[in-house]
Amino acid sequence: MQTSYDLVLQGAPGTPLEVAPVEAAIRERGGVTRGDGALVWRFPSGDVVALPLKEAGVVTGLELKVPFSDRTELLANVLTSGVELARTLSLRLVDPQLARAVLEADAGAVTDEFLRIARYAGQYYGIGDALPMAVAPSQEEGMSPVTRAVLIVLVFAVAMAAAYQYFSPSPE
């Protein structure tokens, strides 16, 4: 199960991507190389991991992995910075979930998809970091369904007993 929302910086469809200039541009904008060699793009609202995307052994893009959260500031920062970086380097920012290139104007659609997938990851795969609200048990007001059912059966039994007492002939 995916644990992040991925955006991809890439050139023309199906063409290889020269990763070095893209990584250098990310480093100029706050990117650092992690101990394992992965590039981390730092934002005030969080970090995004940038990894080469390989298809048939050829690097065709650079994935920007935005971790799931119930907050969307990091996604908005990545979208804005990613579109600006793509323009600067004559690339495009692609949202694979939407299956198209995205711009700043697509922030609403990207955010909606991000939240939908994060909720799904939280509810069905137990990824607690996805959307904490989605995996927390809901606290409904009032009684639980089991307590309510037992109480209804009890009230019905008392009502039947009272009706039996009232309508049955008195033994004299």
139 pLDDT band, cuts 50/70/90, is very low
Return the HEC string of 9-63. Answer: EECCCCCCCCHHHHHHHHHHCCEEECCCCCEEEEECCEEEEEEEEEECCEEEEEE
Task: Please tell me the distance from the alpha carbon of residue 130 to that of residue 128, in angstroms, as a whole number.
Answer: 5
Q: Residue 75 domain-assigned?
A: yes
Residue 141, domain member (yes or no): no
39-88 pLDDT, tens digit per residue, is 999 999 999 999 999 999 999 999 999 999 888 999 999 999 999 999 99
Tell me the residue type at 104. E
Question: What pLDDT score does 134 carry?
Answer: 42
Convert 89-107 to b/e letters by CB count within 10 Å (16 or more is b): bebbbbbebeeebbeeebb
Which structural domain range is residue 99 located in? 4-135
Determine, yes or no, domain membership for 169.
no
Q: Which residues of 88-158 form beta strands (DSSP E)?
A: 92-95, 100-101
Report if residue 166 sits inside a domain.
no
pTM above 0.85, yes or no: no
In a domain? residue 167 = no
11-21, pLDDT tens digit by residue?
998 899 999 99
Q: What is the mean pLDDT of residues 89-113?
A: 96
> Is 151 domain-assigned?
no
Task: Quote the DSSP letter at residue 105.
Answer: G
* Structural domains in the chain (count): 1
